[in-house]
Structure 1
Amino acid sequence: MSIALGSMLLGVLLITMVLGGTVLARLLLSSAMVYLFVGYTLGPAGFAVITLDPAHHAKVVEWAAEVAVLISLFNVGLKMGTVPFSDTRWRLPLRLALISMVLTVGLITAVGVWGLGLPLGAAVLLGGILAPTDPVLASGVQTNSEVHPDRLRFGLSGEGGLNDGTAFPFVMLGLGLLGLHDLGVSGWRWWAVDLLWATAGGLLIGAALGALIGTLVVRLRTRYSLAVGLDEFLSLGLLAMAYGAAQLSLASGFLAVFAAGLALQRVKEQPQPHTASLSTKSGVSGHAYASLATHSHHASATMTTAVMDFNEQLEKLAELGMVLFVGALLPYVVYWPALWWFIPVLFVLLRSLAVLVGTLGEPMHKRQRTMICWFGIRGIGSIFYLMFAIRHGLNPHLAQQLITLTLVTVTVSIVVHGMSVLPLMKWYAR
């Protein structure tokens, strides 16, 4: 198929999603489910427009998945940044992203060793790949940028925003146990660098850059009417700076980008003396962007709103591209009888156990806890870590096993969670 025809098909897909998005929602079809089907059709099993072999094009898929996850993490950070850290809502995402995530890795490791017959290193690696929930595909349960958001949505968003970064040490541990990464004598390098520094350093670097850049831009706009506009560049530039600085420092780029979004949203207004707010009973919607962006009472909010609006559209494009890739990669899955019991065990039993233990004692309604147990959405973060591991030199047989387990898990998650999110969230809202 020619590039021109492929381009036309992509255009048809985008316009179809615009025109038929509401109808698809009524049919319980998420946009990701449609992208998955189209990707499979455009892959080797269909028209062969997308011909990515996970074993030979791991770097390309890894790069695309990483970009998609970074965009989504930055967006989640922006949305959650309106909630003060003193708010008790933060306890839930922290417990899910730390305690429940570690428990999930351990449970998957146990199932991998005793149920799938994997060596210990491969089982730990599988746990690191499949434990994190996904921020890219979780738009249906993501929180809004409110000071007092819904607790369920806030918890699930925070979990997805944090655990892509907190899963990194376990991916490195699995690779180390397989002899593909240096863990140091008695594991000191893993504890000191891959675990402690990667986590703390990523959060610190991202928060510092987000606060510094945001404050600088607001000051230039309100005091000198400079640096006005190009909020898209600000979004991409801060994302890239946070990720690059963290990676160069051997810290987690994922956590750095998430923290940068949090910090940018928290940049305070800098009102000048003898000035008044433009707000009225109807808000500030009637004022031009330039007036709001340079006004000392509104510059911060205008900046973060513009960055978030751009990032949300970018996130949708990233989701489109990556889910198309997932669909195109499905022909490389090799049938494995264990899939019939492994996927239900992961989604129902292991996820529930990890959530119930991780949130033990947390004051929460039974329905909220049940919803959290179910919405352990797996997605693009798992694809990234899979390709990351393949690129580190997994032997072909183990690589094929992990490709099969990961792609099938993500595909089933797209379908079952995509079909259930609308009716369940409507039920929850009632």
Structure 2
Amino acid sequence: MPFATWFVVAGLLLTLMALGKTTLARLPLSTAQLYLLVGLGIGPLGIGLLVIDPVDEAGILEVLTEIAVILSLFAAGLKLRTPLSDGRWKLPLRLATVSMTLTVFGIAALGVYGLELPIGAAVLLGAVLAPTDPVLASDVQIEDPDDTDRLRFSLTGEAGFNDGAAFPFVMLGLGLLGLHEVGHNFSRWLLVDVVWAVLGGLAVGAALGVAVGRLVVYLRRTHKEAVGTDDFLALGLVALAYGVALLVSTYAFLAAFAAGLALRAEERRETGDEPAADVEAMAHEGQAEEVAVDEHVAPAYMASAVLGFAEQLERIGAVALVVLVGALLHRADWTLDALWFVPAVLLIVRPLAVWIGMAGSSSSGLQRELIAWFGVRGIGSVYYLMFAETHGLNDGFSDLLLGLVLTTIAVSIVVHGLSVTPLMRWYSKRSDAEEREAVRLEKEG
């Protein structure tokens, strides 16, 4: 396709999405659904303008999806302003550990007993599809840093943690296929791929987030410098976290998420419980330069500005990557295996894993049901599969795994996109009604 035509397609898509944003908000549709349709239309199943082989071009797809996920994870970390000491953190941690582990092995069981895959390929399939997606789940994530709704907070935190926490299981699957060293009795896998890579990634991101955050605030407060560079700050911190994490053989996804969390924690440490929205309002009133160096609100302005830029990049990445997924759907698996496999993953494995992981929590039944349902699969799954391809995945399993993963992502985008608007509206009305009732009872008491 001529280079100029790419600009026309991209320009039309972005313009239509900008003009139709408010209309989509009123409909049971998501932007990801439209991106998927565009990709389908310009791909081999449509007019054939975008033709890409996911196996031959796995390296390119791995890099593109990795960048999109890292930016999204950094933004997710910045959104979470709730102190780490708050009890709300228990739920996303349980979802990203207990529930995700159960999901990996639940899907692996489907692969072994239903698809007759070897254990290594089945575990790899489970690891690829287990993490929820921070790129496509924005409609069910927290709406602003001061949003403490338990449902939104849990889904945001889960997507932030489990996109990195899935990596050990990807390495385990590759190890069982003979493509990665796991050591005697899995000792190397446990010590290096689980303990060191997970804890090291979190530590790298946290340390860099704290260091960069304190340095910028110091320069702005004390010397009135480093102002107006929040876009470079966002890109610089993400690149630092990513690069250092890889240099010390840890997981860059967890480092990016931890960097966002640490930067936000620094802001809260400096400003306390003052709502971040108040700072943003001041900036929009034309006081940005003054706010950026103000002794009291400079940290909050920094975090808000960095988050705004990161979210812009995240949205651009979502457009490009979901269009690519749509174009790749010619490789999706529409066989009888997919007809039972995809519903089993979304309607049985995910809900069971969530209910077990959330057992005994203080969340309501409605919140558990919605968390169990909104396990959106997307760009993260594409990345992990491309990672496996570039690390020598057996060609005998490539087509089957690729087909099942693409089919699951496509179905997830469609069904979750159709249900998110009505379900979240219903949930908001129920939450508001329950809050009003609690206030009434408190007054009467």
Q: Give the TM-score, by structure 2 length.
A: 0.92
Question: Which whole-Å CA distance do the structure 1 matches of 2:179 and 2:3 have between them?
Answer: 39
Partner of 1:115: 114
Cα shift at 1:285: 5.0
Cα shift at 1:270: 9.4
1:29-428 correspondence runs (5 A): 29-80=29-80, 82-147=81-146, 149-268=148-267, 286=285, 288-428=287-427
Tell me if structure 1 keeps the 8 A contact 2:282–2:291.
no
Question: Which whole-Å CA distance do the structure 1 matches of 2:254 and 2:394 have between them?
Answer: 29
**Structure 2: stretches of 5+ with no match in the other structure:** 271-277, 430-445
Cα shift at 1:20: 1.8
Cα shift at 1:268: 4.3
Cα shift at 1:4: 1.0
Question: Which whole-Å CA distance do the structure 1 matches of 2:419 and 2:112 have between them?
Answer: 31
Change (3 A) 1:270 1:355: closer
Q: Match of 1:54, SS?
A: coil
Partner of 1:8: 8
Tell me if structure 2 keeps the 8 A contact 1:232–1:310.
yes
Tell me if structure 1 keeps the 8 A contact 2:245–2:251.
yes
Tell me if structure 2 keeps the 8 A contact 1:269–1:299.
no
Cα shift at 1:25: 3.6
Question: Which whole-Å CA distance do the structure 1 matches of 2:58 and 2:52 have between them?
Answer: 8
Partner of 1:274: none
Give the counterpart letter for 1:301 in structure 2: A
- 1:202-238 per-residue CA deviation (whole Å, 9 max, x = no partner) reads 1110000000001001101110111111100000110
- 1:51-100 per-residue CA deviation (whole Å, 9 max, x = no partner) reads 210110001111111111011100100001x1111111101100000000
Q: How many residues align?
A: 421
Q: Match of 2:336, SS?
A: coil
Cα shift at 1:283: 5.5
| Overall identity of the aligned pairs, in % | 52
> CA RMSD of the aligned region, Å?
1.6
Tell me if structure 1 keeps the 8 A contact 2:333–2:407.
no
Question: Which whole-Å CA distance do the structure 1 matches of 2:365 and 2:268 have between them?
Answer: 40
- 1:127-185 per-residue CA deviation (whole Å, 9 max, x = no partner) reads 10000000000010111344461000000000000001110000000000000011122
Give the counterpart letter for 1:241 in structure 2: L
Bigger helix fraction: 2
Tell me if structure 1 keeps the 8 A contact 2:333–2:406.
no
Cα shift at 1:294: 1.2
Q: Give the TM-score, by structure 1 length.
A: 0.95
Q: Match of 2:266, SS?
A: coil
